[in-house]
Amino acid sequence: MKIAMLGLGKMGGNMTRRLLRSGIQVVGFDFSQDTVNQIASVNGMIPSTSVEDAVAKLDGESPKIVWLMLPSGDPTENQIKDLVPLLNKGDIIVDGGNSNYKHSQRRGAWLAEQGIGFMDCGTSGGIWGLENGYCLMTGATPEVAKVLEPVMKALAHEDHGWAHVGPVGSGHFTKMIHNGIEYGMMQAMAEGLDLLKGKEEFNLDLAQITELWRHGSVVRSWLLDLTAESLKVDQTLENIAPYVADSGEGRWTVVEAVEQGVAAPVLTVALQARFRSQDSKGYSYKLLSLMRNAFGGHAVKTK
C-alpha cells in the first residue's frame, strides 16, 4: 500500500514515520525540501518535489489516497481545491488536521460532487503518537472508511485507537469535543495545583503530590502523568511566561454549545482563562476600577 502525505511537520512527519514502520509506503511532500530529504533518507519515505510529483508517484495505486496534515483554514482549503484536477474519480483525500467540522462537511459534499472520496480524521496523541500510536476519530462513508482501514491500524494505538464514528464531518466534530474536554481537564488541574501552591503554610511539594495521585486516585490520567513528570524537573515555573495559547477547537466547542443551546460552563470558562492570560491590557479591569472610584470614592491604582 502506498499513500501520499502532504505536510511533514510535527504531526505529519511522525505519522509518516509510523506508517513506514508498519510497511506502508509513503510519498511525502513539504514546502521544506530539507524536511522531505531528511525523512526520506532516515526513514525511507519516497520524496517528492511538488504536490503534482507526489500524486504522480502514486500511479498504479487505486484508489490514490492523499493525506493532508496542514494548518486548518486557507492552507487546507486551497490544497483540496488544487488537488482535485490531479485526481481521478474514486480517489480519496483525508484531512487529518484540525479543521472546523462544518468546513469538512462542506468540502466532503463538494468533493463528492467531483467524484472524490473524503475522510475527516481527528488526530489526537500529540508528540507521543509516534511511539504510542495515535487516537483517530474518522468521519466518512463506509466505503471510504473501509479503504483506509490498513492505514488506521498502522497509525493507531494498539489497533484500538481508531474508529469510524459517523458521516463526513463527524470525525472533526468528535475531535473538537475531545479538545474541549481537554481544555476543561487541564484547567481543573491547573486550578487545583494553584490552590495547593497557594496554601503556603503547608509548603506542599507539587511534584510529590502529582506523582502520588498517579497511583490509585480518582484523578489519575495521562495529563496528570505528564504534569507530574514535568513538575519533577521544576515546580517554580520561574522561566515560563503566564501566557496560554488557544487553538480553533476550544473556541469552536464553545460556539457549538451556543448553537446547540447547551450550557457548557466548564468548557467555556476554561477557554476564557486562556483569553485572560493573553490579555495584557486589562481594559475591563480598568473600567471596574473606574466605576468603584466613581460610586464609592475608592482609590484607583495608577500605573
Three-state secondary structure of 171-186: HHHHHHHHHHHHHHHH
User: What values do phi and psi take at 190, rounded to 5?
Assistant: -65, -40
Q: How many CB atoms lie within 10 A of CB 181?
A: 13
Residue 210 Cα distances to 146, 153, 204, 233, 237, angstroms: 42, 33, 11, 13, 15
Among this protein's residues, is 191 annotated catalytic?
Answer: no
Among residues 57, 64, 175, 256, the one annotated as catalytic is 175
As measured in angstroms, the least distance from the Cβ of 225 to its own copies is: 9
Cα dihedral 15/17/19/21 (nearest 10):
-150
Minimum CB distance to its own copies smaller for 48 or for 104: 104
Minimum CB distance to its own copies smaller for 60 or for 265: 265
Residue 61 buriedness (CB in 10 A; 0-12 / 13-18 / 19+): middle
122 DSSP β-pair partners: 137
As measured in angstroms, the least distance from the Cβ of 51 to its own copies is: 26
Residue 64 CA to residue 51 CA, distance in Å, equals 13
Minimum CB distance to its own copies smaller for 113 or for 158: 158
Residue of 69, 82, 167 whose CA lies nearest to 118: 167
Minimum CB distance to its own copies smaller for 59 or for 131: 131
As measured in angstroms, the least distance from the Cβ of 274 to its own copies is: 7
As measured in angstroms, the least distance from the Cβ of 207 to its own copies is: 11
As measured in angstroms, the least distance from the Cβ of 16 to its own copies is: 16
Question: Can you tell me which residue has the cell 466548564?
Answer: 266
Among residues 52, 61, 182, 211, the one annotated as catalytic is 182
Among this protein's residues, is 199 annotated catalytic?
Answer: no
135 DSSP β-pair partners: 124
Query: CA-based angle 117:119:124, to the nearest 5?
Result: 165
Minimum CB distance to its own copies smaller for 84 or for 257: 257
Catalytically active residues, by annotation: 175, 182
